[in-house]
Amino acid sequence: MATSRPALRYLHLEDSQATASSVSNWLGRALPGCKGRRAATRDEFMAALQADDFDVILSDYELAAMDSVTALELAQLQNPPKPFIFLAGDIGEEQVVELMRLGASDFVHKDRLQRLAPAMERAIKEAASGSNHPLRDLVLKRAEARIREQAALLDKAQDAILVQNLDGVITYWNKGAEQIYGWASSEAVGRDAAVLLAMDEVRHRFARSHALAHGEWRGECTHRTKSGAEVVVQSRWSLVQDADGEPKAFLVINTDMTENRQLEAKFLRAQRLESMGMLVGGIAHDLNNVLAPILMSVDLLRTMMRDPEADRLIQTMQRSVKHGSALVQQLLAFARGAEGRHVEVNLRPLLSEFVDFMKPTVGAKIHIELDFLESPAPVLADATQLKQVLMNLCINARDAMPRGGRIGMTVTNLKLDEARARLVPEGRPGDYVVLTVQDDGGGIQPQILERIFDPFFTTKEPGKGTGLGLSTVRGIVKGHGGFMTVESVVNEGTVFRIYLPVHTSGEARAGDKPPAILLVEDEEMVRNTLTLLLKSEGYHVLPAVDAREALALFDDPANHVTLLIADLGLPGMDGCELIAAVRKKQPGLPAIAMTGMPSGEITGMEEFPDVSLLNKPMTRIMLMRAVEQAVKPAV
On whether both 350 and 440 belong to a single domain, the answer is: yes
- Judge whether 151 lies within some domain: no
Domain stop point among 204, 232, 256: 256
Handedness of CA 149, 152, 158, 160 (dihedral sign): positive
Q: Is the pLDDT of residue 83 over 50?
A: yes
Tens-place pLDDT, residues 118-155? 888 888 888 777 655 544 555 545 545 554 555 555 55
- Say what the pLDDT of residue 512 is: 44
On whether both 215 and 291 belong to a single domain, the answer is: no
Confidence of residue 500 (pLDDT cuts 50, 70, 90): very high
Pairing assessment for the beta strands 493-501 and 483-489 based on DSSP bridges = antiparallel
Mean pLDDT of 361-384: 84
Q: Is the pLDDT of residue 214 over 50?
A: yes
- The pTM (predicted TM-score) of the whole model is 0.34
Tens-place pLDDT, residues 310-352? 777 777 776 666 666 655 555 555 444 444 556 788 888 888 8
Q: Is the pLDDT of residue 456 over 90?
A: no
Confidence of residue 635 (pLDDT cuts 50, 70, 90): very low
- Judge whether 235 lies within some domain: yes
On whether both 323 and 402 belong to a single domain, the answer is: no
Q: Which domain holds residue 290?
A: 263-335
Confidence of residue 304 (pLDDT cuts 50, 70, 90): low
Cα dist from 7 to 28, 33, 82, 295, whole Å: 11, 6, 16, 123
Q: Among residues 15, 63, 56, which one has the least CA distance to residue 38? A: 15
Mean pLDDT of 246-254: 88
- Judge whether 528 lies within some domain: yes
The enclosing domain of 619 has a CATH number of 3.40.50.2300
Do 219 and 197 touch, CB atoms closer than 8 A? no
Tens-place pLDDT, residues 21-32? 989 999 988 888
On whether both 412 and 297 belong to a single domain, the answer is: no
Pairing assessment for the beta strands 247-256 and 230-241 based on DSSP bridges = antiparallel
On average, the pLDDT of the chain sits at: 78
Mean pLDDT of 217-242: 88
Of 167-171, 477-481, 493-497, 503-507, least confident by mean pLDDT is 503-507
On whether both 295 and 376 belong to a single domain, the answer is: no
What length is written for the chain?
635
On whether both 132 and 185 belong to a single domain, the answer is: no
Torsion, CA 198, CA 201, CA 206, CA 208, rounded to 10: 60
Q: Is the pLDDT of residue 564 over 90?
A: yes
CA 197 to chain centre: 21
- Judge whether 150 lies within some domain: no
CA 280 to chain centre: 29
| Number of CB atoms found within 10 A of residue 562's CB | 22
Biggest distance spanned by C-alpha atoms of the chain: 158
Domain stop point among 89, 120, 145: 145
- Judge whether 3 lies within some domain: no
On whether both 374 and 312 belong to a single domain, the answer is: no
On whether both 304 and 224 belong to a single domain, the answer is: no
Do 70 and 49 touch, CB atoms closer than 8 A? no
- Judge whether 152 lies within some domain: no
Bigger pLDDT: 130 or 88? 88
Mean pLDDT of 428-448: 87
Per the structure, the count of domains in the chain is: 5
On whether both 212 and 102 belong to a single domain, the answer is: no
Rounded distance between C-alpha atoms, residue 164 and residue 439, angstroms? 45
Cα dist from 449 to 79, 224, 265, 409, 467, whole Å: 74, 21, 12, 21, 14
Rounded distance between C-alpha atoms, residue 288 and residue 401, angstroms? 37
On whether both 351 and 497 belong to a single domain, the answer is: yes
The enclosing domain of 202 has a CATH number of 3.30.450.20
On whether both 492 and 522 belong to a single domain, the answer is: no
- Judge whether 1 lies within some domain: no
Domain stop point among 228, 256, 284: 256
Tens-place pLDDT, residues 167-201? 889 988 888 889 889 999 889 989 999 899 988 88
Confidence of residue 364 (pLDDT cuts 50, 70, 90): confident
Q: Where are the alpha helices (DSSP H) in 427-493?
A: 446-449, 469-479
| Number of CB atoms found within 10 A of residue 583's CB | 16
Tens-place pLDDT, residues 504-547? 654 444 344 455 899 999 888 788 878 877 876 767 889 999 99
Cα dist from 150 to 92, 139, 143, 517, whole Å: 17, 16, 10, 74
- Say what the pLDDT of residue 590 is: 92
- Judge whether 552 lies within some domain: yes
Q: Among residues 265, 620, 629, which one has the least CA distance to residue 447? A: 265
Confidence of residue 591 (pLDDT cuts 50, 70, 90): very high
Bigger pLDDT: 306 or 361? 361
- Say what the pLDDT of residue 182 is: 92
Bigger pLDDT: 117 or 469? 117
